[in-house]
Amino acid sequence: MAPNVALQADISQTAIELLGTVTPILRALSSDNVHPLAVLQLDAIGSRFPISGPLAKQIPDALTRSSSVRLGRLQNLVGWMAGDTSAALCQSAGGQASALLTLCLVEMFCRNSTGHLLFDLSMRVLPKNRCLASMAQLSDLAEVVSNKLKPLAFGQHHAIQVTRIRETYLRSDIELPPQTSASLLERLTIDSMVELLDAVQQALQDSTLLLYIEGFQGLGGVVSLLMALCPDDVTLLIEGEVIFQGQRRTIIISVKHEGKTLFGLEKIIHTKKSSPHAVTFRPNEFLAHPGGFSSYDHLTMEAKGCLFRMAEQLLFVTKKPPQRVIASFVNLIGTIMLSFTGVDFGPGSDFPCDGLRLEFHKPLSISDMYTTQQLHADLCQLLGYIPSNAGEGQNVVGACSGSTSILPMTLGADSFIKGHLVRYRALDGQFHDGHSYYKAITENAHIQPRALARVSIQRDNTISPSAMGVHSNIILSLRPHHNSLTLRATVNFGTQMKEISFYDANLAYMATCLAHPCDHHPKDPVTVLDTASVIRTGVEAPVASDGRISVVLTHNNSEAQFLAGVRGVPSMYQGISCLGCMINRAKEGGFQLLIQS
Ligand SMILES: [Zn+2]
Ligand SMILES: [Zn+2]
């Protein structure tokens, strides 16, 4: 008995020591919630695919990039951590190849189908003892890797490849029936794709083998995939004419509009064909998305240059109901974020230097209201998002798609922006704290609202610019909670300290109207005869009780002006108007909360 026990103890001790030596990599993988066996398996698949070409050259930089942006005064960051899962894959040729393959497959087949496909492919090309990861683990890993590689814009590559084929037909005498033309973009079944990739890896590794692919249906995706993975090995023919020729003749793709799509390996010495495989397709997928760019749902596109077209489009829709206008606005903002290059907002551009300004000249009536809550939710989801699993009772302040994070500018800003702007930042990467990645920034949805002000904080009947209502300090902090970071905003007013809802303040901030400029000076004081119906308040309790008007004394403090907002109360920001004109306008327009500039 005794020697056995000793032996077992030795083994477990060794195992733990072994674990100790791989701690850095395990930490990297756990930051992504990735299973180590899945990484090993993906690397093994990749080693079967020697990759080449321009996308392959971009892989190392894209996999290892690790710049992060700090969120203003918060300790947390948005971006990529050095030495994450993707960076680990970058350390081997197999890892790099598998990353590129995974990117293409996720964009063509979505994450879950990619996991399925990689699983089936492993069973064919790897020894049984290397097929250890589950489909779900491979899917999770595929998502992590493809997110990091989004900047490669596989969708753009795909569009270029398909356009080249179509243009060749346009220039030729061959007139393709519309249905045939559309079939170019049909998607192969997973089984056919597995079979094809198996043949590709055999041809890439055995110089005596040639892979011959011919037909038309579904070849758009096949050409894109192989021109991404290994263009140096591809010869592309269209109706017998060479359109592209790589350095090596490993794979010949012959696009012919008549005939079924088939592929097969041929032995070069004997030129003896193996029996070709017929390719099968997923049923009705392309037709299910008429008018869509392609049958692929997940293509990542670059959107450079579409800014002007979107602005034009916006002008055309201004006569439709406000909801449509603002929905277009959301699209426009989204497009700007996607296509933002720096010069778009610069001098000489048609857009203001400091972003887009959303101004309402009257409070929106309930019937046509597109609330800032909806606007915020739409903006958060614009680039795709992974839901927070922090549970009920949480509002989402910032969201992450796995590759891009989006959050209101007010959260990241060191100081709050003057004026009232709808500004969001879209950043490459995920929220992280240096150890783990997070998919959302949330806030408790049940923070007690601030009290209503019953009496004025100033007694005389002259209102002048004043900072009497300003808070003394604000602390924004984030703490991990499931896959999210939970935000807490703690504000000091004199000797009091109170948690306030940043989410609500931000929505109020976006909904605040700007007072019209007038001919008077913004610092001109105003004497109010009716001190009971117009009271002066502070950030601690900005809104007056009994539906009266309040002027929040936040002069020259943009942070207090931000905090003065209370969601659902019609609010106006003084801007360059004088106080008297702002109060008059507020009475006419039904504004209740007036914020001093
Ligand atoms: Zn399967
Ligand atoms: Zn005035």
ipTM here:
0.60
584 Cα–ligand 2 center, Å: 9
Question: Predicted confidence band at 141 (pLDDT cuts at 50, 70, 90)?
Answer: very high
Mean pLDDT score, 444-464: 93
Residue 30 inside a domain? The answer is yes
Q: Tell whether the model's pLDDT for residue 188 goes beyond 60.
A: yes
| pLDDT of 345 | 35
Q: How many helices (H) and strands (E) does the chain have?
A: 18, 25
- Number of Cβ atoms within 10 Å of the Cβ of 511: 24
For the chain, how are helix, strand and coil distributed in percent, rounded to 5? 40, 20, 40
399 Cα–ligand 2 center, Å: 41
Domain co-membership, 145 together with 167: no
| pLDDT of 332 | 55
Tokens linked to 360? 């309402």
Domain co-membership, 169 together with 114: no
Residue 347 inside a domain? The answer is no
* 3-state SS, residue 470: coil
Instruction: Using the structure block, give the residue that is written with the tokens 């794709």.
Output: 193
Q: What is the pLDDT of residues 77-86, one digit of tens each?
A: 888 888 889 9
Angle at 547 between CA 542 and CA 552, to 5 degrees: 25
- For 444, phi then psi, to 5°, come to -50, 125
Residue 116 inside a domain? The answer is yes
Please state, in angstroms and as integers, the Cα–Cα distance from residue 358 to each residue in 172, 313, 512, following that order. 50, 17, 9
115 Cα–ligand 1 center, Å: 10
Domain co-membership, 148 together with 161: no
Higher-confidence position of 314 and 32: 32
Instruction: Using the structure block, give the residue that is written with the tokens 């998919």.
Output: 439
Pairing of strands 484-493, 440-444: parallel
Tally of structural domains, the chain? 3
Residues 6+ apart with CB under 8 A from 108: 187, 221, 224, 225, 296, 298
| pLDDT of 309 | 38
| pLDDT of 414 | 57
Mean pLDDT score, 128-141: 93
Residues pairing with 441 in the sheet: 398, 485
At which of 278, 299, 318 does a domain end? Answer: 278
Burial of 368 from C-beta contacts in 10 A (0-12 / 13-18 / 19+): exposed
For residue 99, give its domain range: 18-152
Domain co-membership, 140 together with 198: no
| pLDDT of 9 | 53
Residue 482 inside a domain? The answer is yes
Q: Tell whether the model's pLDDT for residue 33 goes beyond 50.
A: yes
| pLDDT of 485 | 92
Q: Which of 453, 424, 467, 437 is nearest to 541 (CA)?
A: 453
Domain co-membership, 583 together with 539: yes
Residue 527 inside a domain? The answer is yes
252 Cα–ligand 1 center, Å: 27
Within a 13 Å sphere around the CA of 395, how many CA atoms are in the beta-carbon half?
20
Domain co-membership, 211 together with 262: yes
526 Cα–ligand 2 center, Å: 10
Tokens linked to 404? 């891009």
Mean pLDDT score, 525-542: 91
Domain co-membership, 68 together with 159: no
Could you write out the DSSP letters of every residue in 260-299? --EEEEEETTTTEEPPPEEP-B-TTTTTTSTT-S-S-S--
- For 327, phi then psi, to 5°, come to -60, -40
Higher-confidence position of 6 and 247: 247
| pLDDT of 352 | 35
Q: Which of 503, 478, 481 is nearest to 391 (CA)?
A: 481
Domain co-membership, 138 together with 93: yes
100 Cα–ligand 2 center, Å: 62
Domain co-membership, 560 together with 513: yes
Question: Predicted confidence band at 21 (pLDDT cuts at 50, 70, 90)?
Answer: confident
| pLDDT of 425 | 76
574 Cα–ligand 2 center, Å: 10
539 Cα–ligand 1 center, Å: 60
Q: Tell whether the model's pLDDT for residue 154 goes beyond 70.
A: yes
Mean pLDDT over each residue of the chain, to the nearest integer: 81
Q: Which of 87, 58, 84, 82 is nearest to 68 (CA)?
A: 82
| pLDDT of 354 | 33
Domain co-membership, 411 together with 469: yes
Distance (Å, whole) CA 400 – CA 398: 7
Distance (Å, whole) CA 297 – CA 4: 57
99 Cα–ligand 1 center, Å: 20
| Residues, CB-to-ion distance under 5 Å, ligand 1 | 120
Pairing of strands 513-514, 571-573: parallel
Distance (Å, whole) CA 93 – CA 510: 49
Q: What is the pLDDT of residues 339-351, one digit of tens each?
A: 333 333 333 433 3
At which of 260, 278, 296 does a domain end? Answer: 278
| pLDDT of 192 | 94
Range in 216-230, 348-362, 410-424 with the lowest mean pLDDT: 348-362
Q: What is the pLDDT of residues 238-286, one digit of tens each?
A: 999 999 999 998 999 999 998 899 999 988 765 555 667 887 877 644 3
| pLDDT of 66 | 86
Q: Tell whether the model's pLDDT for residue 60 goes beyond 80.
A: yes
Residue type, 24: P
At which of 278, 310, 343 does a domain end? Answer: 278
123 Cα–ligand 1 center, Å: 10
586 Cα–ligand 2 center, Å: 13
* Smallest-distance ligand from the CA of 117: 1
Percent of the chain scored above 90 by pLDDT?
A: 47
As a whole number of Å, the end-to-end CA separation of the chain is: 83
Higher-confidence position of 308 and 384: 384
Domain co-membership, 105 together with 174: no
Q: Tell whether the model's pLDDT for residue 504 goes beyond 50.
A: yes
422 Cα–ligand 2 center, Å: 26
* Smallest-distance ligand from the CA of 583: 2
Q: Tell whether the model's pLDDT for residue 291 goes beyond 70.
A: no
| pLDDT of 273 | 57
Tokens linked to 83? 């030495």
| pLDDT of 461 | 87
280 Cα–ligand 1 center, Å: 14
Tokens linked to 100? 């590129």
Instruction: Using the structure block, give the residue that is written with the tokens 């209740």.
Output: 592
Q: What is the pLDDT of residues 297-329, one digit of tens each?
A: 444 544 333 333 333 344 433 344 444 455 555
Residue 312 inside a domain? The answer is no
| pLDDT of 348 | 41
| pLDDT of 19 | 78
| pLDDT of 269 | 67
Q: What is the pLDDT of residues 101-124, one digit of tens each?
A: 999 999 888 888 899 999 999 999
Residue 1 inside a domain? The answer is no
Higher-confidence position of 319 and 23: 23
Distance (Å, whole) CA 393 – CA 140: 27
Please state, in angstroms and as integers, the Cα–Cα distance from residue 425 to each residue in 251, 333, 381, following that order. 44, 11, 13
Q: What is the pLDDT of residues 385-432, one digit of tens each?
A: 888 888 889 999 999 988 888 888 788 665 555 555 567 777 778 999
Q: Tell whether the model's pLDDT for residue 514 goes beyond 50.
A: yes
Domain co-membership, 365 together with 501: yes
Tokens linked to 531? 């001190």
518 Cα–ligand 2 center, Å: 5
191 Cα–ligand 1 center, Å: 6
Q: Tell whether the model's pLDDT for residue 569 goes beyond 80.
A: yes
Residue 229 inside a domain? The answer is yes
Q: Tell whether the model's pLDDT for residue 10 goes beyond 70.
A: no
Residue type, 271: T
Q: Tell whether the model's pLDDT for residue 22 goes beyond 90.
A: no
